[in-house]
Amino acid sequence: MCKPQISCIRFVFQWFSGSVKALKSHYHQGFERLFVMIFGIVFMLISSCGEQAPRSSKQKDNKTTNLEVKVPDFNADSAYNFIKKQLAFGPRVPMTTAHDECAIWLESTLKRFAPEVKVQEFKSRIYDGRVMDGKNIIASFNPQAKNRVFLSSHWDSRPFADHDPDQANKNKAIAGANDGASGTGVLIEIARLLSWQSPNIGIDIILFDLEDFGPPEDKQTNQGADTWGLGSQYWAKNPHTFGYTAHYGILLDMVGAPNARFPMEAFSMYYAPDVVKKVWDIAKSLGYNDYFVFENGGYITDDHYFINQLAQIPTIDIIHLDANSVNGTFYDYWHTTKDDLTQIDPATLQVVGQTVLAVIYRE
């Protein structure tokens, strides 16, 4: 109820008092009936005094714009524990016991948080001609919503430590703490928060398999880029829901190392520059511009490349790139046996997780 104007009320009551005195002095009979009539007139006058002109549409829009969106607080310690749990199974190389057991855990964990979880089983031929079994795991929130955004990572780990400086380690499978488990851990924590506070849009969390089964370094000749990202290629051609589309997608890859730097990856800028700008601007507004740097990154053939090409959904890659690393592109322990839990920094997980949450809750 609007607050009436004080000056108007004062005038009405002064007029009312004077009228009552005058009538009372001249009329003795029927005074009560006249009193009721005058009181009714006074009530209408006061009501009209309280009415205010409607605000302009500009005023209304400003009020809406200034409302702050409540974004949940990301819990980096929880994400860290989800990473630790993945590593406890051992290297998550497809068609191994560790891989099978981790898949069961991922599915059951996401079912605790999401109203709908699907496991997309598929077969794909790897670089040497062998056919491998894979599992893409998809959790959907607000599954009926037409306006959707998807978040993704890969959950498998590399079967070869082909960039390890120790020659004896090159054929060993890696733990993949940063390369795979970090993005997956961040997304599971986001799923946990989504279960408590649903955003206004539909969200799909997609964990791709068989991303990292490309040829080892000493066998990389002319096999082509499509020997990597096999799970995302399959999903892009065969989405989990017929006719699936999304407004855009965000891929997380290697998002847990200490002092990580996320420049604007080049394929992301080519296919979805507006999404890159949105994410990096939000990160800057949160004070994370030391991590999300406004610098051009190189072209990385990652899962997002195939989604842009095959599914034609604008998708970006938040990925740690470092031109000063020992391998000249990725962080120092990429595809080595030292990509273990010691390489995970909760501070980096916090930056990435909070940024992604802010993006999706502001849609």
CA angle 33–36–42, rounded 5-degree value? 145
Phi and psi torsions of 196, nearest 5° = -95, -35
User: Which pLDDT score is estimated for 69?
Assistant: 79
Closest CA to 19 of 43, 6, 35: 35
User: Which pLDDT score is estimated for 225?
Assistant: 87
Cβ count near 7 (within 10 Å): 9
Return d(Cα 223, Cα 232) in angstroms, integer: 18
Residue type, 14: Q
The fold for domain 76-361 equals Aminopeptidase (3.40.630)
Return d(Cα 352, Cα 333) in angstroms, integer: 20
Structure tokens belonging to residue 7: 């000056």
**Residue 52 pLDDT > 60:** no
Q: For residues 292-318, b (16+ Cβ closer than 10 Å) or e, as one string?
A: bbeeebeebbbbbbbbbeebebbbbbb
Write the pLDDT tens digit of every residue in 97-122. 999 999 999 999 999 999 999 999 99
| Segments of the chain assigned to CATH 3.40.630.10 | 76-361
pLDDT band of 271, cuts 50, 70, 90? very high
* Interval 195-218 mean pLDDT: 95
**Residue 16 pLDDT > 70:** no
Write the pLDDT tens digit of every residue in 57-95. 333 333 333 356 799 999 999 999 999 999 999 999 999
pLDDT band of 12, cuts 50, 70, 90? very low
User: Which pLDDT score is estimated for 139?
Assistant: 98
